[in-house]
Amino acid sequence: MIKSIFFGFSCIVAFLFADQQDSFNVVVKDLMAAGKTVRISPFKGIGVVTVNLCFKNVGEKLSPRHKESLVALLAKAMGDATTSKTREQLQAYSLQHNVLVSFGVNDDDFVIVGKCPSHKLAELFCLLKDILFYSRFNDRDLLRFKSEITAGTLQSLQSPNSQLGELVKKTILPNHPYGTLQTTYLASLKNISSADLKSYMNAHFAQENLIVSACGDINEEDLIAQVSDIISLLPKTLKIHLPQDVKLVGPYKEYTQSFPVPQTVIQMVHDGIDVHHPDFFALQIAMGCLGNPGIGVLWKKVRGEKGLTYGIGAGFSMQDHYNVFCIATSTQTETVEQTKEAIKGVLTDICQNGFSTDLVDIVKKSFLGNYKRSFASTGHIAARLTKYQKEGRPLDFHKILIEKVSALTVDDVNNAFKKFLKPDQFVVFTVGK
């Protein structure tokens, strides 16, 4: 979920390494601000700065018990007004100074993104401080936001994919924050007041769980001064009990739920990997060989040759406390068993015979090209710096990743896949007629 509050900022996309794309000339540095690391990627001459303030371990699925929708509501309501400015005044300030503040939330983290012209850093941080420390939540507006969340959630539940997600949560994640069902989520809205939102911000946005990154035309002294000011106003420690990690263990099981749609959605779930797993890079390429549209083995065999589905994909779903590998597709109800058997047949064949050298080479080139292109704007780079700090990656991880993927051989990819994937350990979910 991402919410943009202010619309005055003109987005500037710069192909930051266009002149030296072959060498991938992206510079990353660590600075210190009030005892915290600030990871930056400076690019002079483009005239824009993106700043990410990520508060980890306080995301949507880590909301308080009986107030499971609190963080989602906060992401909608935050910045709507402050003690000194109405929404209209905040928007006017944003337009006057050409600055933007937006909010993003996932299961684990809450991210505040600020963008501004490089000479407007002070104005951006003035706005950030006002929102972080002086947000005001009006009861009338909260009712509107709650209605929006309710309508969106109820509509999503008409989808078989959402129903499949609910089935997965009930089966694998009972009594875990990640397993909160939509009915519980919606029912909790009535328990949340404006005081709850303010209290949550005061208690959970802290120095301890803050990750700061920035990219663009940065004056380092000005940035450090502004970030230090924010840090000094935050409480030092975060008091939260993190959930247990969930490990998915087979043997092969199947769970089915009826739903009145003409097709059946299928999800095959297998235990995943940690980002620091020694086979992490090889398995990323293996996922492309398996599920990339048009060239992946599953796509060619299940969709192309057998015509059982319009699409099929494979990949890792990686969260702080729950990592899984998924294969997802849909098919006509009368061909569900045939589709599952076709997928199992493909996986068994790959475990025995591996991927071809040509396929591994194509997927590697595609992966590296897409990865380099993902550094094409200050926003993309700042988001990557945040992600890599959270994972404990070194400064030059973007170069390490390219080197490691480039060096992978077909044997590396096949051996990692055979070691990782156990066809008899899948848990299979189907939802449909």
Q: Do the first three CATH levels of 2-233 and 253-432 match, i.e. the same topology?
A: yes
Going residue by residue through the chain (433 aa), what tens digit of pLDDT does each one get? 444 443 333 333 333 333 333 456 889 999 999 999 999 999 888 899 999 999 999 999 999 999 999 999 999 999 999 999 999 999 999 999 999 999 999 999 999 999 999 999 999 999 999 999 999 999 999 999 999 999 999 999 999 999 999 999 999 999 999 999 999 999 999 999 999 999 999 999 999 999 999 999 999 999 999 999 999 999 999 888 899 999 998 889 999 999 998 899 999 999 999 999 999 999 999 999 999 999 999 999 999 999 999 999 999 999 999 999 999 999 999 999 999 999 999 999 999 999 999 999 999 999 999 999 988 889 999 999 999 999 999 999 999 999 999 999 999 999 999 999 999 999 999 999 8
Domain definitions of the chain by residue range: 2-233, 253-432
Q: Which residues contact 2 (CB under 8 A, 6 or more apart)?
A: 102, 103, 104
Euclidean distance between the first and the last CA atom of the chain, given in angstroms as a whole number = 30
Q: For 2-233, give the CATH class.
A: alpha beta
Q: Residue 411 has what pLDDT? A: 98
The residue whose two tokens read 């002070």 is 122
Q: Which burial class, exposed, middle or buried, applies to 262 when counting CB atoms under 10 A from its CB (0-12, 13-18, 19+)?
A: exposed
Taking CA atoms, 409 is separated from 278, 285, 296, 351, in Å, by: 15, 10, 17, 16
Q: Residue 208 has what pLDDT? A: 96
Question: What is the architecture, at CATH level 2, of domain 253-432?
Answer: 2-Layer Sandwich (3.30)
Distance CA 361, CA 409 (A): 9
CB 391 within 8 A of CB 275: yes
Q: Residue 376 has what pLDDT? A: 84
Q: Which residues contact 30 (CB under 8 A, 6 or more apart)?
A: 37, 38, 39, 40, 395
* Residue whose C-alpha is closest to residue 350's, from 299, 410, 267, 417: 417
Q: Residue 24 has what pLDDT? A: 67
